Amino acid sequence: MFGPARLGPLTLKNRIIKSATFEGASPKGAVTDALIAFHQRVARGGAAMTTVAYLAVAPEGRTDRHCLQLSAESLPGLRRLTDAVHAAGAMASAQIGHAGPVANSKSNGAPALSPSRRFGASGSLTRAVTEDDIARITEDYRVAGARAVEAGFDCIEIHLGHNYLLSSFLSPKLNRRTDSWGGALLQRARFPRQVVAAVRDGAGSGVAVTAKCNMADGVPGGFDLPESIEFARMLETDGHLDALELTGGSSLSNPMYLFRGEAPRAEFAATLPQPMRLGFHVVGKRFMKEYPFEEGYFRGQAHQFLETLSLPLILLGGVNRIDTVESALAEGFSFVAMARALLREPDLVARWERGERDDGSCVHCNRCMPSIYSGTRCVVDVPTAPA
C-alpha cells in the first residue's frame, strides 16, 4: 500500500489516489487560491495523487459557467496549482471531459449537446451532435491533452462516465442515432475510443493517461455491465490507457447510484431557484434514489473487470477502511481511489502510513454534495466554507 507504484510512466509514492470531486472553488471558471488550497490539503495529507475536477475541453462542455475550461487563459493558474501540489509532495491529475447533456445550457449560454435530441439536465432541449461537432470535439480533446501537459499535470483522466457526452454515446438509452455513431456497441464506442486516442496523441508518452468509465448507468436501458466489460476490452486493445477507474451512475437520471448512503434531498433543493425548488420537491425522490451504503460498494462489479483485463484497474466507491484498501490491492487492483473520506479527513492516508488503523469517519450523509455551490467540503464538522 505504501511502497512506490507504477502508473504508466509515473512512479507514485503509494497506491491511494484522491478521485475527482467538483471543488466548487472556480467562480466564473477561474483558478482560485481556494482551489489550490483544496488540493494542497489532500497532497499534504498523504495521497499519492490528487485529481482536479472538472476541466472542460470546450465552452459548451462545461457543467456551468463556474466550471474550469482547459483553455490557454487558464494555463498560468493551473501551473500554479500543479506546482503547489508537487511542493506538497503529491502528483496532480487533470480530469478532462465534455459535459454533453449534463451541461447547464442556460448558464453556459450555449446549447447542450447529446447523441440524440432530448431534454438535458437544465430542462432545455439539447442539440444532437453533428459530424462536424464530433471532429471538432475530438480535436478539442487532443488540444486539452497537450495543454494539461503544459500546465504541469502528471496524469490526465478522461471522463467516460456519468452520462456526460462520451458516456451518453455509449448508452443505448441516450444514443438513438442510426448513423455510424449509433446502434451496436462497436458504433456507439467509436467516439469515446477516438477521443482516447486523440488525448494520448496530444499528451504524448511522458504522462499517464487514464479513463473513468461507467460499469453501469443504473437506469433501465442504459449502459450496463456486459457491454461495459466489452468496451473495457476495446480500450485495453487500443493500448492508449495506463489504467481504468471504474465507476457508475448517471448525473442525468440516477446520481445516487454513484454515491450511495443518505440522499440529501432537502439540502439539494435549498440550492435551487424557484420554481425549480418546488419542482424538485415533487420529483426529488425519483431523481435522488436512496441506496444503502456498503463499504467498497463497487467492488463486486469491478471484480468482473479484474477477471478479464490485464489493464491496471483503480477501485472506487465508498472506501473508508484501511483493510478495504489492503484486501483490494491483494486481490489485484492496482490503486484505490477515495473521495468523501478524504474530503472529511484530508490527512487520513498519512495517519494510516504512520501505523494508525482507525476507519475514516465519513458518515455517508452526502450533505457534501450540495456544498459544491459554495465550496465543496464536509459540512458535519465545518459549517461554513473555508476562507
pLDDT in the model for residue 268: 76
Q: How many residues does the chain have?
A: 387
Q: How far apart are the C-alpha atoms of 157 and 208, rounded to whole Å? A: 8
pLDDT in the model for residue 296: 95
Return the HEC string of 268-310.
HHHCCCCCHHHHHHHHHHHHCCCECCCCCCCHHHHHHHHCCCC
> Is the model's pTM score more than 0.85?
yes
Angle at 95 between CA 89 and CA 98, to 5 degrees: 165
Catalytic residue among 54, 141, 164, 257: 164
Question: Taking the domains of the chain in order of start, what are their residue ranges?
Answer: 5-103+132-373
Closest Cα to residue 126, out of 73, 174, 57? 174
Closest Cα to residue 208, out of 164, 137, 248, 158? 158
pLDDT in the model for residue 252: 87
How confident is the model over 193-220, as pLDDT tens digits?
999 999 999 999 999 999 999 999 999 9
pLDDT in the model for residue 387: 36
pLDDT in the model for residue 161: 97
pLDDT in the model for residue 44: 97
pLDDT in the model for residue 289: 87
Q: 5-103+132-373 in CATH: which number?
A: 3.20.20.70
Residue 164 a catalytic site member:
yes
Closest Cα to residue 182, out of 137, 232, 146, 128? 128
Q: How far apart are the C-alpha atoms of 41 and 27, rounded to whole Å? A: 20
Strand partners, 362: none
Ranges of residues in the chain with a pLDDT under 50 are 382-387
C-alpha cell at 350: 498519512
Q: How far apart are the C-alpha atoms of 137 and 160, rounded to whole Å? A: 14
